[in-house]
Structure 1
Amino acid sequence: MSVVVVIPALNAAQTLPRQLEALNSQTDLDFRVVVSDNGSSDGTPDVARRWVPTFHSLEVVDSSDRPGAAHARNVGVGSSSEDLILICDADDRVRPTWVEAMRRGLASSDVVTGPLFLVWPDEPGRREVWNVDAPPMSMGFRPYVPGCNAGLTREAFMGVGGFDEDLFRAQEDVDLGWRLVGNGHDISFERDAAIDYFQRSGLRSYLRQQWSYGRAHVTLFMKYRDAGIRSASWKTSARWFVEWAKQLPGRVRSGDGRTAVGGAVFQLSRCWESLRTRTSTPL
């Protein structure tokens, strides 16, 4: 089965070489790469083109006509014809067996993901693993496939219409996974399809990302509000913040203060957007 790796990119000139180097070091090198540039102003397309001689096939496509990772991924997939679609991000790093494990998983499943090993550039000694042995779940509703570590058959991807480009802030990968599951597809998990998942460098950038995630959380819920997802009451939200405040000093002392504050910013954003849209949403 033919394989294409799609990488959405926006101002990724500094990080894209790390991802391309990782792809060039795979145990399975039988794939094509498509870098979908979403309107970069830092020379990202030129950086990508320098790697063309290194790969069996590498193409840069222009997706600058509409902002958002969802659109960039859709354009990248649409420019290709391979049977199997692998999607990763320009600022992460796939592990050496990523393509091989994805191909193996997609031999028996239509959708595959794997572990995310969190990397904190500001805290080089910190180690965390996310969704270590199963696909992640959101809002207690359905599992999904993270957009930074996704493998799909073309038939499954096209069968649900690709990513929803209206979800431009975030959560477009959660939505895709939910629609895939709703369409009868199981999401398989391959332990060797792992990536190093780089977190935002700098506290302001990280918190801005969490604020955007909180707003996108509400937008996604509103799309599925009639699907039976249980919302959190305002009392439950208030109780969460009280418990967060109690735990914060200890988490700061243990070196987890940044994540704790990020969680609070996410929840504040969720509450603000819920008030603005007059809807009650899950934690």
Structure 2
Amino acid sequence: MKVSVIMPVYDAADTIAVQLDALAGQAWDEPWEVIVIDNGSTDDSMRIVEAYRDRLPNLQILRSTERQGPAHGRNVGARAASGTYLAFCDADDEVADDWVARIAAAVEAHDFVASRMDAERLSDGRALATKGNKRQQTGLIEYTYVRYLPFAGTCGLAIRRDLHDAVGGFDESMRYLEDCDYCWRVQLAGTPLVFAPEALVHIRHRDDPRGMYAQALNWGEYNVVLLKRYREHGMPAPSWTVGPKLWWRLVTRLPGLRKQANRDRWMWALGYRVGQVRGSIKHRMFAP
């Protein structure tokens, strides 16, 4: 087997058929497989997956409920994989119709690669107004809190199997931002991350305000975990002025909150800042 496509699933009945249709429609002459890992779904996700056995002949369905989180699911899938290369996708996205062939060519050439992302097809107008469509459109994601290594979202990542094994896979203690942590560990181990714009993944932004706020809150907290972890790996300390500037920016945007898009962006930024404070207290790491 040349490529193993790995997809963790948790309660994705509303979206997973779109991704499975996309995978079933791939045209590539090399041997490849799809590994779906159920992480304790309580909806009809697995019944939907089972219906694709005829359309995805090399489909594996695994169940792993001993630990929650996509990092755990991806590691379970990687251990069961027979491919020389591992490619990761998510149950709420949609890969382009030539994605497997494109990502396979890219990872064979560069060992560790990230797909291009586009949010317009699957995200509604409110979600796009809040989060935009620039993330991983023209290159890797730059870490902007301080200057450090680039990273990419896990949906659309691909890596040579032995490199994944060498870094121990995904850190299952990272409930959030595990993609950033994984990309940094692979790069620090000596393998650069390369952007593969020809491999396209259509991503889906969260479209409910509570979900967006919760995501921002968790990302803010786990950003502190990253700061604490990577200081000993050359990450510079953030300036103490960063925090006050970001809080002041929230204050200056208050007059614009009459518009829904401004309110959504403001709540996202607030959630991230509150998450940073929570993370600083919880993980005993000052993050301004």
1:277–1:80: structure 2 CA closer, same or farther, 3 Å change rule?
closer
CA RMSD of aligned residues (A): 2.2
Q: Pick from 237, 244, 248: which aligns with 1:242?
A: 248
Give the TM-score, by structure 1 length: 0.91
Distance in 2 of aligned mates of 1:83 and 1:256 = 46
Cα contact 1:122–1:202 (8 A) shared by 2 = no
Cα contact 1:141–1:229 (8 A) shared by 2 = yes
Distance in 2 of aligned mates of 1:125 and 1:212 = 20
CA distances 1:191-228 after superposition (whole Å, capped 9, x unpaired): 12121111113111121111111111112222222223
2:172 matched to which residue of 1?
Answer: 165
Distance in 2 of aligned mates of 1:111 and 1:97 = 19
The code of the aligned residue for 2:49 comes to: A
Q: Percent identity at matched positions?
A: 27
Cα contact 1:7–1:89 (8 A) shared by 2 = yes
Structure 2 gaps of 5+ residues are: none
Cα contact 1:49–1:59 (8 A) shared by 2 = no
Distance in 2 of aligned mates of 1:149 and 1:90 = 12
What is the deviation of 1:233? 4.5
The correspondence of residues 10-159 of structure 1 with structure 2, limited to 5 A, is: 10-28=10-28, 30=30, 31-118=32-119, 119-121=122-124, 123=126, 128-138=133-143, 139-159=146-166
For the residue of structure 2 that corresponds to 1:14, the secondary structure is coil
Is 1:268 matched up with 2:269?
Answer: no
The correspondence of residues 178-193 of structure 1 with structure 2, limited to 5 A, is: 178-193=184-199
Cα contact 2:136–2:152 (8 A) shared by 1 = no
What is the deviation of 1:24? 1.8
Give the TM-score, by structure 2 length: 0.89
For the residue of structure 2 that corresponds to 1:152, the secondary structure is strand
CA distances 1:11-42 after superposition (whole Å, capped 9, x unpaired): 11111111111112234375211111111111
What is the deviation of 1:115? 1.9
Distance in 2 of aligned mates of 1:281 and 1:125 = 29
For the residue of structure 1 that corresponds to 2:134, the secondary structure is strand
1:35–1:256: structure 2 CA closer, same or farther, 3 Å change rule?
farther
Structure 1 gaps of 5+ residues are: none
Aligned residues: 281
Distance in 1 of aligned mates of 2:262 and 2:134 = 14
What is the deviation of 1:122? 5.6
